[in-house]
Amino acid sequence: MNNASKRLPRISGLQFGTMVTAGYMAMGVFYFPRELVTAAGRDGIWGLWVDGLVTFALMGLSFKMSRMVPNETFGQFSSQLLSKPVGVVLGLVTIVYHLLLAVVMVTQFTWLTNNDFLPDTPVWVIKTSLVIASLYMAWFGTATLARVLQAGYIPMVALSVLTLALAGTLIRHPVLLVPPVNMQVIPLLQGSYRQYFIFLGFEVSITLYPFIRNEDRRVGERYAYGGLALMIGILTVMYEVCMATFGPAYIPLLRWPMVTLMRTVEISGFFIDKWGSLVIVLWTVAVLGFMAVRLWCTAHDLAGLLFIRSVGSYRYLLLPSAVAVWIVAMLVPNAAVSDYMTEQYLVPTGLLYLSTIPLITITVGLIRKKTVRDLRVGTEAQSTPGSSLE
Amino acid sequence: MTNPMRRFFQVLAVIGLLLSLSGCWGNRPVDERDMVFTIDMANGSPKAPLKMLFQFPTPAALIDYSAHKGLSSKNAPVADVTGSGQTVAQCFNQGQAQVARDLYLGQIQLVEVASNLKPQIFSQALLALTRIGTMDMTPFVFVTKDLTTAMRAQTPQAQFPTLYYSSLYSCTHCATDNLGVRLWQFAAEDQTPGVDPHLPYVSIDPAAQTIVTDRVGLYRHLQFVTALSPQQTQDFGLLKGLANKVSVFIPQGQISLRSIHGSAHLRTAVVHGKVQATFLLNLSSTLAGTATVTHTPAGNAAIAAEASKVLAQNCLRLLKYTQAKDVDPWGVGRMLDWQHPNTFLKFRHWHQEYPKVTMTVHVKLHVYKLGNIK
């Protein structure tokens, strides 16, 4: 059995929550809320909340699925529950998906950095640096990665929220803060669909679930939900500040609305007066965390797919994943192409994957109750909660 | 891997990452660039319709400035290069061809625009400017008729011309009206339906050759229409909530009020298909002097009422003036779009409707009196 409990040390509930949140926070935040506003105008805020609600529901479903066989990675128990070919296909889709998300992130952030901050640095240098840095973050395993995210990620989010509050002073049209009531449903859903990219990455929770300490599972779920609620809160503030500052007509013309907004934040007299620019540069932490979590997931899904059991093989799987991300990222010529990839492939596949897989698995699990019980008992015997951790 | 080896690779990785993203790629240090502080845009020849000027501080002046010496009159504090062409990029290339160092656009603090700049050229240039990634959208913009003089005229403060304007506009409570407009604000107003952009208007006093900055220039889309007089600009500040120290004198009773400032709110309503715009001005001021020495609270209230009436009349007159000129710098249409979107969508062109809007101004003035102590 490729039992997740062998890859100790495992992570706490808070660390799980942080990793899952880090797994989607940086996604698309740079061009948020352009897609929403372009499609739905001022109604975009409702679109964001629809996205949030959908994510809550899908996250609940995926936890329900993971709870069926809590000690086993999805890649493993799916092939035993849904038959081998289905399991293999699902495993492959998951891996490709993780890698593509990482590629899109690298491309977006590279072009942002290159265009706005480091025009003299060649694109390949930025791409390579990002891949190496995220590989380095993921290199030392789950617990280290989770601790690094806790230490680097949480302060970065706190700083960003404070800076957003500062950006609140730029608001020129307070009337735009009130969500409009005469909504048009079709454009709203369109915007909501296109913007869903921002939450897509939460499926890390499926791969990550068996790595929470047994007694921390419920707490971990709560932290993940809390992280989601926090993200929706932060995104709402971002949306509101951006909307009330620039207005609905100007946002669609901005390449990176959030970045433009943050860069207008100045603190005159302070020794770094372009404060917002500094915070944008610090977002590198979020991007690296996101990529590291993706690489981590790919390595674990690969291990599940290839029936590799040893703990030591993690790094040998991590390296080819990083190389794959690097090569594909080098092939993507610019951010517009990665945008196109997202809209045409990642959003539809992601939504389909996140909604149908848990539903099918849960339904099959209800039919094949005995198999589920056997799987659960078989994996639980090897890991008594708390005993084998240290 | 052995332990020292592992440590070695770790250190190597960290150093490599720090070096690769340090921004020193190409080895062009900041002090070896010509950092453009100001750009200006004017009409060129028919073949090269855009003419741009790039102004940057000379190295000698920059050293003096950083040593807090002030600028000496011997050396020119700034140098200009000009370029012309169809696009901003062509102008930039011509400018770059005239200097030996990297002409760096990441530090632009001021954009000046000729009042006769053709709207089409202006629009393209504006888009090109917003696409310069290294520049954030925070430079101030102003419009002037005397483009070159505005950047060369003597300023009372001995510093770079750019810094004169950027400190003027970035200090929100220094001038009579806070007229500073940043590039992103101007671009947003240009793109938003139902509002016309405005810019501070800089003129040169012909006798003293000094800069005068107490007027505002109004645009219809990107077509410059008119510059308001200083008196109208004060009323403009009141209506936009930008006034800091406007003063008013009422001959009857020799009443002088100073430091009038406060907030302004615009509300729109649609009554029987007609658009109504209401400006609510919540102002406070200080009583500077009257004909009589002592006042009662009732007398004070009478002064406030009288002054409110005068201010409301002035503001209404300015609103009518903009209706006659058919420019809507207040964003009446924009507010209508946000408050009554269905009504706004029915109009094909806001500028056909704007002159028909019924305007109302309510002024609530609070007068503080210091008393007259001998």
Please give, rounded to a whole number of angstroms, the shortest distance from the CA of B325 to a CA of chain A: 25
- Provide the pLDDT for residue A390: 32
Q: Tell me how far CA of residue B202 lies from CA of A54, A298, B60, in angstroms.
A: 54, 61, 28
Judged by CB atoms closer than 8 Å, whether chains meet at A116 and B133 is answered as yes
- B313-329 as b/e: b if 16+ CB within 10 A: ebbbebbebbbebebbb
Nearest CA in chain A to B185: A246
pLDDT score at A289: 87
Q: Which candidate from A114, A125, A250 shows the least CB-CB separation from B188? A: A250
Beta strand B110-114 pairing with B246-250? unpaired
Fold of B229-374: GMP Synthetase; Chain A, domain 3 (3.30.300)
- Across the interface, which of A118, A129, A246 has its CB nearest the CB of B188? A246
Task: For residue B136, list chain A residues with Cβ-Cβ distance below 8 A.
Answer: 260, 263-264, 274, 277
* Beta-carbon contacts of residue A160 (< 8 Å; ≥ 6 apart): A234, A279, A282, A283
Beta carbons of A109 and A118 less than 8 angstroms apart: no
What pLDDT, on the 0 to 100 scale, is given for residue B372?
60
Compute the nearest-CA separation of A264 from chain B (Å).
Answer: 6
| Band (B73; pLDDT cuts 50, 70, 90) | low
- Reduced to 3 DSSP states, what percent helix, strand and coil does chain A have, rounded to the nearest 5? 80, 0, 20
Work out the minimum CA distance from B296 to partner chain A, whole angstroms: 39
Of A247, A263, A274, the CB nearest to B188: A247
Between A80-84, B69-73, B80-84, B298-302, the lowest mean confidence (pLDDT) is in B69-73
Query: What residue of A is the nearest CA neighbor of B267?
Result: A175
The residue in chain B having the minimum alpha-carbon distance to the alpha carbon of residue A122 is B25
Q: Judge: A264–B184 Cβ closer than 8 Å, yes or no.
A: yes
Q: Strand B110-114 and strand B50-57: pairing?
A: unpaired
Cβ-contact A21, A228 below 8 angstroms: yes
Residue B233 has pLDDT above 50, yes or no: yes
B336, closest residue in chain A (CA to CA): A175
pTM of the model: 0.90
The whole-angstrom distance between B20's CA and the closest CA on chain A is 7
Pick among B184, B186, B198, B267 to test the A interface (most A CBs inside 10 A) = B184
Looking at per-residue confidence, does A367 or B69 come out higher? Answer: A367
Find the closest chain A residue to B135 by CA distance. A116
* Beta-carbon count within 10 A of A218 CB: 12
Work out how many CB contacts closer than 8 A connect A with B.
80
Beta bridge partners of B56: B79
Q: Which of A115, A120, A250 sits opposite B28 (nearest CB)?
A: A120
Q: Chain B closest CA to A366's CA: distance in Å?
A: 48
Cβ within 8 Å, pair B184-A260: yes
The lowest-confidence range among A253-262, B284-293, B298-307 is B284-293
Query: Over 90: is that where the pLDDT of B300 sits?
Result: no
CB contact under 8 A, B138 and A263: yes
Residues from chain A contacting residue B191 (CB–CB below 8 Å): 249-250, 253
Bridge partners of B102? B33
CB contact (8 A) between residue A116 and residue B134: yes
CA distance to partner chain A, nearest, from residue B138 (Å): 6
Closest partner CB to A120 (pick from B20, B25, B187): B25
Coil, helix or strand at residue B220? strand
Beta bridge partners of B144: B114, B202
Across the interface, do A129 and B182 touch by the CB < 8 Å criterion?
Answer: no
Residue A1: the pLDDT is 41
Predicted pLDDT of residue B187: 93
Taking the C-alpha atoms of residue A276 and residue B137, their distance in angstroms, rounded to an integer, is 12
Which of A80-84, B162-166, B248-252, B290-294 has the weakest average pLDDT? B290-294
- CA–CA min distance A74, chain B (Å): 32
The beta-strand segments (E) located in chain B are 33-35, 38-43, 50-57, 78-85, 102-104, 110-114, 140-144, 198-205, 210-220, 223-227, 246-250, 255-271, 274-289, 358-369
Query: Can you tell me the distance from the alpha carbon of A325 to that of A330, in angstroms, rounded to the nearest whole number?
Result: 9
Taking CB atoms and an 8 Å limit, are A182 and B341 in contact across chains? yes
Q: For the ranges B72-81, B110-119, B128-137, which has the lowest average pLDDT?
A: B72-81
Nearest CA-CA distance, residue A180 and chain B, Å: 9
- Tell me the C-alpha distance between A230 and A29, whole Å: 14
- Torsions phi, psi of B361, nearest 5? -125, 125
Cβ within 8 Å, pair A264-B182? yes
Give every residue of chain A whose pLDDT is below 50, as ranges: 1-5, 7-8, 383-390
Lowest mean pLDDT among A34-43, B53-62, B82-91, B335-344: B53-62
Say whether A121 and B191 touch across the interface (CB within 8 A): no
Pick among B137, B191, B280, B345 to test the A interface (most A CBs inside 10 A): B191
Q: Give the A-side interface with B, CB within 8 Å.
A: 42, 114-122, 125-126, 128-129, 132-133, 136, 172-173, 175-176, 180, 182, 246-247, 249-250, 253-255, 260, 263-264, 266, 268, 274, 277
CA distance A271 to chain B (A): 15
Query: Could you tell me the CA-to-CA distances from A104 to A101, A131, A287, A329, A379 in Å, in that order?
Result: 5, 12, 11, 7, 36
Nearest-neighbour CA in chain A from B25: distance (Å): 5
- Are the CB atoms for A345 and A162 separated by under 8 Å? no
Which residues on chain B are in Cβ contact (under 8 Å) with A274?
Answer: 136
How many angstroms separate the CA atoms of A149 and B1, rounded? 26
Beta strands in B273-326 (DSSP E): 274-289
Residue A356 tokens, joined: 């149908």
Which residues in B lie closer than 8 A to residue A249 (C-beta atoms)? 188, 191-193
Spans of all domains in chain B: 27-227, 229-374
Chain A residues touching residue B182 (CB < 8 angstroms):
264
d(CA A380, CA A357): 24
CA distance B290 to A253: 54
Dihedral sign from CA coordinates of B156, B157, B158, B164: negative
B23 → closest Cβ in A121, A173, A176 = A121
A81-90, B22-31, B195-204, B257-266: least confidently modelled range: B22-31
Q: Which residues of chain A neighbour B133 with C-beta distances below 8 Å?
A: 114-116, 119
**Running DSSP on this structure, what letter comes out for residue A179?**
P
